[in-house]
């Protein structure tokens, strides 16, 4: 360096030259000392990141647990509604059978009434009116059951 040739030498290389036993001189800063604070900052940042990730995992696990509970509740409700719909279907089928039976009975009764008393106009009309009301009530019940069934399907 005295004759104009300048070479760049790292501080640790100069420190190694200055200390004959391979140690570092007291005033020199070693590479390990310069990196150590950065390592500690990196460790602190890594620990903070780990804590953030743990909190995120806990939050996601709680969300997953809530979703599972909601799904189980929905499944139970679906099963209950399915059972209720099946009950309504059975009631509708029974009402339809009853309506068919009433129609057949009404048809048989009117035929018998016509054959038995062709001149009895007033009693015949009362019998037909009663049978008509019964058939109408049965048809109304069947329609009500159908409406309930449609409502429950739309409710899902």
- 28 found inside a domain: no
Domain total of the chain: 1
Question: Could you please report the per-residue DSSP string of 57-88?
Answer: HHHHHHHHHHHHHHHHHHHHHHHHHHHHHHHH
Q: Which domain holds residue 124?
A: 33-155
Q: Indicate whether 67 belongs to any domain.
A: yes
10 occurs within a structural domain: no
Q: What is the pLDDT of residue 155?
A: 77
- Domain membership flag for residue 65: yes
Residue 56 lies in a domain: yes
Q: Which residue has the tokens 């040739």?
A: 5
Compute the C-alpha angle 116/117/121, nearest 5°: 150
Contact yes or no for 81/75 (Cβ under 8 A): no
Which pLDDT belongs to residue 60? 96
Burial category of 142 from C-beta neighbours within 10 Å (exposed 0-12, middle 13-18, buried 19 and up): buried
How high is the pLDDT of residue 146?
A: 82
pLDDT at 140: 83
8 located within any domain: no
Chunked mean pLDDT (size 10), the chain, 156 residues: 51 50 49 58 88 96 96 93 90 88 78 60 57 80 83 77
């Amino acid at each position: 360096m005295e004759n104009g040739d300048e070479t760049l030498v790292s501080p640790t290389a100069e420190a190694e030259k200055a200390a004959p036993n391979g140690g570092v001189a007291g005033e020199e800063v070693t590479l390990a000392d310069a990196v150590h604070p950065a390592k500690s900052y990196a460790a602190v940042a890594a620990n903070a990141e780990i804590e953030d990730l743990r909190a995120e995992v806990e939050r996601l696990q709680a969300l997953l647990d809530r979703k599972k509970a909601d799904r189980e509740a929905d499944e139970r409700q679906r099963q209950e509604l399915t059972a209720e719909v099946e009950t309504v279907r059975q009631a509708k089928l029974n009402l339809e059978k009853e309506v068919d039976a009433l129609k057949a009975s009404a048809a048989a009764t009117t035929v018998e009434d016509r054959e038995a008393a062709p001149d009895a106009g007033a009693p015949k009309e009362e019998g037909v009116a009663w049978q008509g009301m019964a058939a109408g009530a049965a048809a109304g019940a069947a329609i009500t059951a159908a409406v309930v069934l449609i409502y429950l399907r739309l409710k899902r």
